[in-house]
Amino acid sequence: MTEYFIHLGLHKTGTTWLQSEVFSRLKNVSYLHQFELDTIIPDSKKVLISCEWLSGKPHLLESTEKMYIIADRLKKIFPSSKIIVGFRDKDSWLKSLWKQYIMEGGTMSLYDFTESFDMDFLDFDRYKKFLTNNFDDVFFYDFSDVKHNKKKLVKDLCDFIGVSVPNWDDLIYRGSLSDSKIHHVRILNIIIPNLLKKKFFTILLKDIAGSWRGKQRKKR
């Protein structure tokens, strides 16, 4: 019988690092980074799906209810699945979501973004209760562990999945932009929105961001 593990996100909780450095390196696990309803699921003893949009798209100002609808559908598709989900400090999470919104072409200030944001997304207790009530086994982690206690987090995750700890690198993925750099990106979004998807704008954006999409090795 196949065991299904589903990593829901949340966005901006170290998901890229986990996907690149941990989940993709697990042995005896079929790992899927993207998932759609028509995705072909491998015939494997353990299947791990990691896709942060499965907890909604708060940075695109979606309604909170979308995350509950998705969780309900996942329960129907994978009734015995085990859930993995990360959280972080609410204020820093909201600001990080705004920065992601800006990097994807948004133009609103942090204040306007916050005014438009569905604050029910910040009711983490409600989401945790919903998940624990609907799934048999749920693993919660905090973003602070991704930043300061990776070794223990990886071991706990591997114990939860039932696999050995892989060799992983302590890297920074998509480090947060400074407020001044985000301000510059936002101004560019306002001035030349029609160029957002063009190659030279992407190059310019990376230059402003200090190649933020690259990865930088930290000392372990």
Query: What is the chain's alpha carbon radius of gyration, rounded to the nearest angstrom?
Result: 18
Helices (H), 108-196: 110-116, 124-134, 143-148, 150-161, 179-191
Q: 50-63 pLDDT, tens per residue? A: 999 999 999 999 99
Residues of the chain with pLDDT under 70: 36-40, 174-175, 193-220
Go through the domains of the chain in sequence order and give each one's CATH number.
3-217 (3.40.50.300)
Burial of 204 (0-12, 13-18, 19+ CB in 10 A): middle
What pLDDT shows up at residue 219?
43
End-to-end CA distance of the chain: 38
